[in-house]
A and B are shown apart, each in its own frame.
Chain A
């Protein structure tokens, strides 16, 4: 299945870089490049791409205007959007309109690869199963599937599936993925409410684990239990939460 993409950026070098990096993805076919918002809009209407790389600041309108224009004009399907910009202040807005990712210039090949891969997965899954809905929480709102935050000078649209475990540190929580940790100003309780309990389990007052990354639960020498993750990390479990994990194990 070929995926069609449009690149929108007012700088030719920026478009060139995108084109060059996209060579790694033979399944992506760049069907056009727009240097202005106007051009981009007509290009998207004409080619109906699956994926749009969009700069926020362009000479005539900004990237959000482009999206507004496209969605009001009764476009059949909105393309997946990856923002590429030098400004970090539009990240929340981008997140709210369900952009796939937000790349801060300059970005590395790895970062670009991850964003594009994410977009491809998204496009494929929505083509195969367009009516898939996120699991709903007790009050009817769906559980969060992504978290947006600033960490170490970057914007991250982190899919919760990439979180291995979460630890409490006073007024903060530390979110640990396979490769990195991020300190967020958040409470465990609030976070626990947002996360799907079928995947995320509170095992301790100060830790939540993603069950997808759990290798085993085994008793320790002191009679307590410990949760061992696939990457070898060990997280202590407290008595009060043990029955919960037992229930889950017995399912």
Chain B
């Protein structure tokens, strides 16, 4: 037995005296029969019948009588003064009703600027100058989509080009000021630190080995297949504004719209219908949304605005763009002792990230990852450049991806530098199961974890030792094969409300359950699925708690007139927050049901015990009332003095984040001639605590893995020196197809969250966070013996080929 296997032989054992510790298992717990379909069932999704028939209803499917169409004139320059906007030719076109400019918005009540979700400001439409390529300059409203598109070409805008500043390091010199609207004439937005600098410096001064690397986590785009859009429908008679909108956070958006526009909040209804993928890109408010709403206000008619793909890729919020300089220290025994990180965060023309207020760099300070170390210190500086504002998440919890990529790359570099196997090195340095709850050097309290178990399982699934032998044989023959590991820790499920907010709105989430007299139910939530399957998994949670079949529970989200207030779906927060709220609301219902059952059975409440779907008399299970019996009684025969009905609402404020984790192993073959990287195998073992629907979890993991593969090998938003976007279509911005995406091999361990009511954790983003470093580590692992120490992602054939050429392998 190797050192590694020895270390984890007691995979499932709970060490004595570790009271807060939870056990790790592999079997998905199922407590309800298939008819009820509670947690653990592979239930087919309830939302699918409409999608497979083409009957989903997305924003662009909304068609209202008399609806007008809006299209947007965009800047051809990254940085330019606006000298004049001449809309006369456009306005003379039959069918064109209005051209809306920044000056119009200013006259309408200073609506030409809006707050970003980071309390920065961003132009809705500019008056003086543009600060990024494809920036919204003015909008055309017409009777038909094609006429609006034609009229865009007829608006004449005179620009005086200004120098662009594309490189964030250049921007820090303040030679070209992006935001001269601000009092401080500097591009430096903020400086942020976490951890203990002094302790970290001390650890480094005492280190036996220090490794250092610079890396860029490039600018990428979520590129959901549905672009962004809106149908704004202002009813002047009732003074009500209805906004069908591609948004992941309808309630927060309603409040922002109310605060910015001055419209009373009860007269704003945000409807987020079916959403064709979000991934963080549909959290922010883009200028197009605001102008579309204004266009409906001005015309008194419904107005539709739908981006095309180029607008989406060129102007909507990007993700990542972190320039990192990291150092890792280890002692003489090869134990990691510290991490020191400096980062420049390129935010483009506004800090339009969607992070909680206290966290301008998001949860980047989770960067010590899965490793137990004495000290860490991390610094981030935000900077403006003349590029579109951001950055959003791209399927990750507030900058966790950047943190995980850095620490997993550094861990691999350290392992290679010390001549240790990367798996053994990780096992040696993991936070061990008996250390949970674990306080990290940057002050996170990890709720639960069993990192050796997940890595061990991944190694078994892929035959890690066998692969290392194969690699040695191939290397002897001159072939390039790499094996890369990533043992990530995620931090998802914001809030708690002490620490997490969006523009001051606390990050709780909500559920409201109403049981109808016949025992069926409707449940509404403050989140909003964009494909995650909430209509199914939330119904399963209620089925688990109340025994009402999941098929009898209708789940609704996304209409602010009916759903309870919530912060929306992003950062893998739905199950940790709204899912928990669903369980808690069900428990409130269960408590009332007990009173009704006691009344009906003429026994005391204490004489009753809950059994799956019923309250039964202890020791006499034949005497019982099912939840359906009780629901009927709640409306027909409830005790005198008790309120009728059976419903409950819960606003759940989680005590802590959840910390899902996993170990991924990638096997790549590198073509020496072309530099092409092929992912031959990829094993992913995830641990998201208790699993609500294994089918849905598998789907989430597969999808996240492809979105992890994407930035590792293909996707990057590229600008030229003038700030022109060179990747504005899907012909240039390379989203992986089924051919590039390997057959994902997945497994799981189950280490429940000790604080979540269902023991569950978020999962949708873990694979996007965990996959890129596994692939990047595999690519470098294939080339390490040639002297290659690092390759930035995406590891394109060109980049890999250049590294091979520099190592003297490939010819020019």
A binds B: no
Interface residue ranges, A against B (CB under 8 Å): none
Interface residue ranges, B against A (CB under 8 Å): none
